[in-house]
């Protein structure tokens, strides 16, 4: 199988190395034939590209590059044909291929062990186009990741819409409409309560008189908070929140002609997770500027109802 040099990134090698460390890629003396052999090629490649020790600087481009000893694409195709993997070829015409969208899908792929291989904009490797290029992804994944692939498409399209309406140098957007209702879920009642960090209430999840449940993020003046896109990600409660600066200060600079606070309206992707302690939740947040999750515990102050 022909080896080829690939460009890598910090995202590609930051995690996942340990899982397949003993399956490091090998060069086959003959083409693999069985399903087990194809899996060994794919998992070996997965381990190889996530091992930072394999990277080396390319003096011509300045990128980090690596040369795996085998090409996984034939084995990926064989596993798809055998029903072991799913494959999608996505062209998203409303999503531009740029640094922000690339970081998003790279981080997404890194955090999904069921995504065995992903490549972006392969049709533009040899032919450069002028203007914005639509994002083109090819993904090979196990069946459990199918719903996450569908969610990735929606998240990328939402990211593109945010870019179009952005008026802040840090990615802030015009004010969102609040949509705070928490959909039904078998574990929803366990999330009810007033939740604090170091004694300060930051979140309230409560039942209204009509039986619906809402979530509200609290902020002290001059900040106001909006929550929307509340949904369940398995047993995790997930939502988007936006904090808006409402004070009088003008933040105009050479790079910020709007005068808005640079973090006003920046989307914060928030996940809440149950813990073994019913009085605590684990909160994980990411933004376009902090793609690695920031986690902390919330402590229940009172039971919502």
Q: Quick: pLDDT tens for 161-173.
A: 765 554 454 555 5
Which of 10-19, 145-154, 242-251 has the highest mean predicted lDDT (pLDDT)?
A: 145-154
Domains identified in the chain, total number: 3
Residue 196 sits in the same domain as residue 284: yes
Q: Is residue 102 part of a domain?
A: yes
Q: Is residue 57 part of a domain?
A: yes
Write out the two tokens for 288: 């376009």
End-of-domain residue from the set 58, 84, 110: 84
Residue 276 sits in the same domain as residue 195: yes
Q: What mean pLDDT do residues 29-42 have?
A: 84
pLDDT in tens, 99-136: 677 778 887 887 788 888 888 876 544 445 455 678 88
Residue 212 sits in the same domain as residue 222: yes
Residue 233 sits in the same domain as residue 244: yes
Please calculate the CA angle 192-194-199 and round it to the nearest 5 degrees. 150
Residue 80 sits in the same domain as residue 135: no
Write out the two tokens for 86: 């799913």
End-of-domain residue from the set 84, 113, 147: 84
Residue 78 sits in the same domain as residue 92: no
Residue 97 sits in the same domain as residue 72: no
Residue 7 sits in the same domain as residue 97: no
Residue 27 sits in the same domain as residue 98: no
Residue 63 sits in the same domain as residue 161: no
pLDDT in tens, 243-276: 888 888 877 765 555 677 777 888 899 999 999 9
Q: Is residue 273 part of a domain?
A: yes
Residue 289 sits in the same domain as residue 232: yes
Write out the two tokens for 143: 């069946």
Residue 60 sits in the same domain as residue 100: no
End-of-domain residue from the set 52, 84, 116: 84
Which of 84-93, 133-142, 158-167, 274-283 has the highest mean predicted lDDT (pLDDT)?
A: 274-283
Q: Is residue 173 part of a domain?
A: no
Q: Is residue 74 part of a domain?
A: yes
Rounded CA separation 49/45 (Å): 6
Whole-prediction pTM: 0.47
66-99 burial, b at 16+ Cβ within 10 Å, e below that, comes to bebebebbebbebbeeeebbbeeebebeebbbee
Q: Is residue 8 part of a domain?
A: yes
Residue range of the domain that includes 6: 1-84
Domain CATH for 158: 3.30.70
Phi, psi values for residue 30, rounded to 5°: -140, 160
Classify the C-alpha dihedral 53-54-57-59 as positive or negative: positive
Q: Is residue 176 part of a domain?
A: no
Q: Is residue 280 part of a domain?
A: yes
């Amino acid at each position: 199988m022909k080896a080829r040099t690939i460009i890598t990134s910090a995202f590609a090698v930051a995690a996942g190395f340990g899982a397949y460390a003993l399956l490091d890629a090998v060069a086959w003396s003959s083409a693999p034939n069985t399903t087990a052999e194809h899996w060994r090629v794919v998992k070996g490649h997965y381990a190889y590209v996530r091992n930072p020790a394999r990277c080396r600087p390319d003096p011509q481009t300045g990128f980090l590059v690596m040369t795996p000893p085998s090409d996984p694409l034939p084995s990926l195709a064989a596993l798809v044909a055998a029903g072991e993997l799913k494959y999608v070829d996505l062209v998203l015409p409303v999503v531009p291929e740029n640094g922000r969208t690339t970081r998003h899908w790279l981080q997404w792929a890194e955090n999904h062990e069921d995504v065995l291989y992903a490549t972006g904009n392969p049709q533009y490797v040899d032919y450069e186009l002028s203007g914005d290029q639509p994002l083109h992804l090819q993904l090979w994944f196990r069946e459990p990741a199918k719903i996450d692939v569908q969610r990735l498409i929606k998240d990328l399209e939402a990211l593109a819409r945010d870019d179009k309406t952005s008026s802040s140098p840090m990615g802030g957007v015009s004010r969102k409409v609040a949509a705070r209702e928490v959909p039904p879920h078998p574990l929803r009642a366990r999330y009810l309560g007033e939740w604090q960090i170091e004694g300060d209430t930051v979140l309230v999840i409560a039942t209204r008189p009509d039986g619906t449940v809402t979530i509200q993020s609290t902020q002290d003046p001059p900040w106001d908070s909006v929550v929307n896109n509340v949904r369940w990600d398995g047993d995790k409660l997930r939502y988007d929140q936006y904090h808006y600066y409402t004070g009088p200060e003008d933040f105009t600079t050479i790079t910020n002609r709007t005068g808005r606070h640079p973090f006003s309206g920046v989307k914060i992707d928030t996940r809440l997770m149950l813990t073994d302690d019913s009085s605590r939740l684990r909160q994980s947040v990411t933004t376009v500027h902090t793609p690695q999750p920031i986690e902390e515990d919330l402590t229940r102050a009172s039971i919502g109802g």
